């Protein structure tokens, strides 16, 4: 009886932590913020935040072409063993490797 209660409390605590982290990450920020902790009242120091360059372009229709040359090993998703229902010996093989049958 104690185990389901403990699991429920852990789930509620985890969800609460996620909600707090999401709300903190969505807090609005401005280009300039006021740092008033070390400044006397009545005056504020504006400090610039980090600004990242942004490139804007107009959307247009077109083909996307991406080519990749690489080396590697090709592996099958599944492998099967083929077994004959009748035992025997192959006397002659009339087809060579790589030929269509």
Among 33, 37, 17, 13, which Cα is nearest to 25's? Answer: 17
Among 14, 15, 10, 17, which Cα is nearest to 2's? Answer: 10
Question: For 69, what's the count of Cα atoms within 13 Å in the CB-facing half-sphere?
Answer: 0
Reported confidence tier of residue 32, pLDDT bands at 50, 70, 90: very low
Taking only the tens place, the pLDDT of each residue in 35-82 is 555 555 555 666 777 788 888 889 889 888 888 888 999 888 998 888
pLDDT of residue 71: 92
Tell me the whole-structure pTM to 2 decimals: 0.27
More confident residue, 62 or 100: 62
**Beta partners for residue 32, in sequence order:** 48
* The pLDDT of residue 1 is above 60: no
**Beta partners for residue 47, in sequence order:** 33
């Amino acid at each position: 009886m104690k185990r389901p209660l403990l699991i429920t409390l852990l789930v509620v605590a985890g969800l609460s932590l996620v909600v707090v982290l999401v709300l903190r990450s969505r807090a609005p920020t401005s280009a300039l913020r006021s740092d008033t902790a070390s400044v006397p009242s009545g005056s504020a120091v504006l400090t610039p935040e980090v600004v990242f360059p942004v490139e804007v372009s107009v959307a247009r229709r077109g083909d996307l072409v991406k080519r990749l040359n690489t080396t590697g090993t090709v592996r099958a998703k599944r492998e099967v063993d083929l077994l004959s229902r009748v035992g025997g010996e192959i006397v002659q093989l009339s087809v060579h490797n790589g030929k269509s049958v």
